[in-house]
Amino acid sequence: MTIKIHLISAARPNFMKIAPLYHALMKEPWAEPLIVHTGQHYDLNMSDVFFQDLGLPKPDLHLGVGSGTHAEQSGQVMIAYEKVLLESRPDLVIVVGDVNSTMACTIAAVKISYKSAGSKSTPEGQKGALKSPDLDRPCIAHLEAGLRSFDGTMPEEINRLVTDTLADILWTPSPDADDNLMLEGIARQKIKRVGNIMIDSLEMLRSTIEKQTACSEMGLNPGGYGLVTLHRPSNVDDPRIMPTLCHTLIRISQRIPLVFPVHPRTRKNMEALDLMPLLEKADNLLISGPINYIRFMNLIFNCRFALTDSGGLQEETTYLGIPCLTLRPNTERPITIQKGTNRLCVLDDFEKHVDKLLAKKSSHDCKIDLWDGRTAGRVVESIKTYFHLAL
């Protein structure tokens, strides 16, 4: 008997979360993992190169949704995924992270009824929800559950709240996430702390990452540059903030070289404000398009610090003991602050904090419980427990 599992992948940060799990599930005789790509990210350098780096095959199912407003994108994913669910009838749907597709696939899956779906009724004992005795639909599991910024203006916070409210299994990365879920009244037995799956990808590819020569190819010395990533709407969609942000980066680059791989959303906005020529002219500011996982991680491994608004980068720098300045008023990853590597900043203080960073030697020992490269194994065990009766 096999358990058919949909791994939902959609946007760049999802790919390193599904890869370790896909590889772990492929080793299990009872598991039939299928990769479902919603198409939220579709550019070669936002999607395909990550599949290559992470050793993932082409997606088994592609929804081809693409960009749009929140409602358009989420709605299109729901419409397309509902059809796929009825055709494919997975036993388990695994959603990761907090992007629009995470929420949309969760809503589609939780409202499906296999038995009343009409034409394709599933005979008793056949695949599709029947292995999960109380459900007439797939079981839904959320990997990276429980994170909260408590900032309702973030689209991701809405996605997290909806997903965690509806999912049957909540795999969390840290104790704060367990606490958040329990404070929201989620049953303790649904919550299973498994650790940080992103660290599995990092450890899986560590030796390949370390062999890369990205920074020397760019003429940079290890420990001698800062790495910048910015893509949050709150920073890059506001035409009043963007010019100040760019001028601040240029001034910082006069103290220490900066590498800035630009996200498509950010580039679009900078182009609209005619800011690209200004950045490209700055001597010590290396502007590029999005960079593939292995090369990007090599740049993180060797940077002096990161300036970011990304969630994943706050975690990766903490794990590696690298200072990180996060251009946000809050974070859903408070453990990165507690460990002392990450600091929340406003734009006005950015330069001051860079100067402070550069003035002191920094090296942290940042061990976090269950951030150990073995999270995928714990997820597999949790799935086995959930489907215990049927296995």
| Residue 260: strand pairing partners | 287
In the complex, the smallest distance separating the C-beta of residue 114 from ligand UD1, rounded to whole angstroms, is 28
In the complex, the smallest distance separating the C-beta of residue 12 from ligand UD1, rounded to whole angstroms, is 4
CA–CA gap between residue 88 and residue 8 (Å, rounded):
13
Nearer to ligand UD1, 100 or 317 (CB): 100
In the complex, the smallest distance separating the C-beta of residue 17 from ligand UD1, rounded to whole angstroms, is 12
Q: Which residues contact 119 (CB under 8 A, 6 or more apart)?
A: none
Q: Which residues of this protein are in contact with ligand UD1, per CB under 6 A? A: 11-13, 40-43, 46, 67, 98-100, 155-156, 231, 263-265, 268
**Which helix H or strand E contains 112, and what residues bound it?**
none
**Which helix H or strand E contains 49, and what residues bound it?**
helix 48-53
Nearer to ligand UD1, 40 or 132 (CB): 40
| DSSP structure string for 264-316 | HHHHHHHHHTT-HHHHHH-TTEEEES---HHHHHHHHHH-SEEEE--HHHHHH
Q: In what order do the strands lie in the sheet with 31-37?
A: 61-62, 31-37, 3-9, 92-96, 139-143, 169-172, 191-193
231 is catalytic: yes
> Can you point out the beta strands (E) in 188-234?
191-193, 226-229
In the complex, the smallest distance separating the C-beta of residue 198 from ligand UD1, rounded to whole angstroms, is 13
* Active-site residue identified among 6, 37, 41, 231: 231
Nearer to ligand UD1, 53 or 98 (CB): 98
Nearer to ligand UD1, 129 or 147 (CB): 147
Q: How far from 4 is each of 9, 15, 291, CA to CA, in Å?
A: 16, 19, 33
Q: Helix axis angle, 242-253 relative to 264-272, nearest 10°?
A: 100
Nearer to ligand UD1, 91 or 98 (CB): 98
In the complex, the smallest distance separating the C-beta of residue 297 from ligand UD1, rounded to whole angstroms, is 16
CA–CA gap between residue 216 and residue 222 (Å, rounded):
8
Q: Which SS3 state, helix, strand or coil, does residue 34 take?
A: strand
CA–CA gap between residue 277 and residue 292 (Å, rounded):
24
Q: Are 150 and 183 in contact (CB under 8 A)?
A: no
In the complex, the smallest distance separating the C-beta of residue 9 from ligand UD1, rounded to whole angstroms, is 12
Nearer to ligand UD1, 32 or 98 (CB): 98
CA–CA gap between residue 156 and residue 70 (Å, rounded):
11
| Active-site residue set | 231
